[in-house]
Amino acid sequence: MTRKAAIIGGGVIGGGWAARFLLNGWDVGVFDPDPQAERKIAAVMANARLALPALSDVPMPPEGKLTFHDTIGEAVEGAEYVQESVSERIELKHQVYAQLQQANPGVLIGSSTSGFKATDLQKGSPAPENIIVAHPFNPVYLLPLSEISGSPANPADVVERTVQIMHDIGMFPLVVRNEIDAFIGNRFLEAVWREALWMLKDGIATTTEIDDAIRMGFGLRWGQMGLFETYRIAGGEAGMRHFMAQFGPALKWPWTKLMDVPEFNEELVDLVASQSDAQSGMHSIRELERIRDQNLVGFLRVLKDRNWGAGKVLLAHDARMRARGADLTGPVEFARMQVLPGWIDYNGHMTESRYLFAASETCDAFLRWIGADMDYVKSGFSYYSAENHVRHLGEAKLGDHLTGTLQVISYDAKRIRLFIRILKGGAEVATVEQMLLHVDMARGKACAAPEGILARVAALAQAHSGLPMPEGAGRGIGMKP
């Protein structure tokens, strides 16, 4: 049965939530009085469709159905969860909650608020226990963090339901143990933001220089280790105690102005806006979003390969989707890729080695799906490519989006015969027929795979048993004698 979420407020955050739910197979009903809401969410969805599936190593579920509604009541009909993302005006949020709870009593409501506590949101509600904070970070469809903050009015089962829904759509729910304005992430960012504004106002650094200090230095560390783990390493072999002893006295030095705020006036706004325009004004906002998303996908894939940080969340979500199963009746989509500058040859086309690379990415995702992942390799066993036959049927150029699908032709205890298609817009640009051997790496010999892996291969082979033999399978070089 398809699940449904309602999204109230379809701006940047609401649109991101809609994309996150839709691409994880939920139906989504949206209410937003903005006449441009459909166009704006369509733009967010276009970016999300390019980015989020690139993080998954198992087939994504069929995309849910997106509907737009003229009233809150219509949007929330049949929904098991609501994500409220309206403007940060408490009276507006209270009006929205009243309409939601009248139209769908008992529905669970999560708020994207950046600062209001759950206690503030629940005031005047006939069912305060069903209103809770679920604060995300932009872009919602890629960044996994969702800060879950309740109040004493929220029973444990409401918190648990919210946490489970966040898990179901691939997010990392961080439960805030005590109510506090702005929660954890934004309180930290507020301190950094204040100090950045002071350095800007005092002429110490420009917006570009401040951003360079972050992205060329500590920002790269924070993305995979955070603050305290980073500083633990900075303490050397003696660890955090040494770091605290060495740098603790600096807390008394007048380095920052955290308790002081520059006056918010037109002069400050003009200073920030003009420097920001000079820094990034050559790109449209949509271009910047796509650049950001491509970079984030790259970072997150690296973390996923290492089972570290946010990569652990992606691996766990893959495991949950794998357990739920997928439609295996046809060639299964295992990879989505985009042709990058380094993939292009001197003719301006994707170079021949990259077609085999694309097939390898597809096969690697299949191997993870059957359980022959890096942990399995560490146990001393692996599948080796014994034979490949590549056919180049079309052309791919810079920026093209490619999909890798896989069909199991046959298998036995030691071998798997695969047929991989690399598609561009549904048309084949290459096929790779591949024979894999299961190998005991210590002995350097082929051996039977374990029952658990063979069972998954068998399930896919059975599902594909009724498919026609792929055109080109078993073929050698296609040159007439």
Q: What is the pLDDT of residues 309-343, one digit of tens each?
A: 899 999 888 888 777 766 778 899 888 888 888 88
Q: 33 pLDDT band (50/70/90 cuts)?
A: very high
pLDDT the model gives residue 356:
94
Q: What is the mean pLDDT of residues 368-379?
A: 90
Lowest mean pLDDT among 29-38, 273-282, 389-398: 273-282
Q: Does residue 306 lie in a domain region?
A: no
| 134 and 227 both lie in a single domain | no
| 363 and 407 both lie in a single domain | yes
Q: Which of 47-61, 64-78, 354-368: highest mean pLDDT?
A: 64-78
| 213 and 169 both lie in a single domain | no
Structural domain total, the chain:
3
| H or E element, residue 431 | strand 427-440
Q: What is the mean pLDDT of residues 252-276?
A: 83
Q: What is the mean pLDDT of residues 429-450?
A: 96
Please report, for residues 248, 272, 325, the alpha-carbon distance to residue 232 in angstroms, rounded to integers and kept in the order given. 13, 34, 41
User: Which residue segment(s) compose the domain that 444 sits in?
Assistant: 328-464
| 137 and 231 both lie in a single domain | no
Residue with tokens 């599936």: 53
| 139 and 10 both lie in a single domain | yes
Q: Is the pLDDT of residue 47 over 70?
A: yes
Q: What is the CA radius of gyration of the chain?
A: 26
Q: What is the pLDDT of residues 72-82, one digit of tens each?
A: 999 999 999 99
pLDDT the model gives residue 480:
59
**CATH code at position 148:** 3.40.50.720
**CATH code at position 201:** 1.10.1040.10
Residue 440 has, within 13 A of its CA and on its CB side, a CA count of: 8
pLDDT the model gives residue 326:
64
**Two tokens at 149?**
């903050």
Q: What is the mean pLDDT of residues 210-234?
A: 89
Q: 273 pLDDT band (50/70/90 cuts)?
A: confident
Q: Which of 162-171, 224-233, 267-276, 372-381: highest mean pLDDT?
A: 162-171
Contact of 355 with 422, CB cutoff 8 Å: yes
Q: Does residue 287 lie in a domain region?
A: no
Q: 288 pLDDT band (50/70/90 cuts)?
A: confident
Contact of 429 with 452, CB cutoff 8 Å: no
Lowest mean pLDDT among 6-20, 254-268, 358-372: 254-268
CA 195/CA 197 separation, integer angstroms: 5
| 143 and 194 both lie in a single domain | no
Classify 14 as helix, strand or coil.
Answer: helix
pLDDT the model gives residue 196:
93
| 386 and 420 both lie in a single domain | yes
Q: Does residue 130 lie in a domain region?
A: yes
Residue with tokens 């449904």: 4
pLDDT the model gives residue 325:
65
| 12 and 155 both lie in a single domain | yes
Last residue of a domain, one of 218, 250, 282: 282
Q: Does residue 204 lie in a domain region?
A: yes
pLDDT the model gives residue 410:
96
Q: Does residue 45 lie in a domain region?
A: yes
Q: Is the pLDDT of residue 258 over 80?
A: no
| 78 and 137 both lie in a single domain | yes
pLDDT the model gives residue 479:
63
**CATH code at position 390:** 3.10.129.10
| 361 and 334 both lie in a single domain | yes
Q: Is the pLDDT of residue 464 over 70?
A: yes
| 92 and 203 both lie in a single domain | no
Last residue of a domain, one of 219, 250, 282: 282
What average pLDDT does the chain have?
91
**Which amino acid, 358?**
A
pTM of the predicted model as reported, rounded to 2 decimal places:
0.76
One DSSP character per residue, 373-392 reads: SHHHHHTTEEEEEEEEEEEE
pLDDT the model gives residue 481:
53
Q: Does residue 290 lie in a domain region?
A: no
Last residue of a domain, one of 175, 200, 226: 175
CA 146/CA 396 separation, integer angstroms: 38
pLDDT the model gives residue 281:
86
Lowest mean pLDDT among 199-213, 322-336, 409-423: 322-336
| 134 and 192 both lie in a single domain | no
Please report, for residues 2, 34, 141, 252, 255, the alpha-carbon distance to residue 93 in angstroms, rounded to integers and kept in the order given. 28, 16, 23, 41, 39
Q: Does residue 307 lie in a domain region?
A: no
Contact of 383 with 438, CB cutoff 8 Å: yes
Q: Does residue 423 lie in a domain region?
A: yes
Q: Is the pLDDT of residue 455 over 90?
A: yes
The bridge status of strand 172-175 relative to strand 145-149 is: parallel
Q: What is the mean pLDDT of residues 400-413?
A: 94
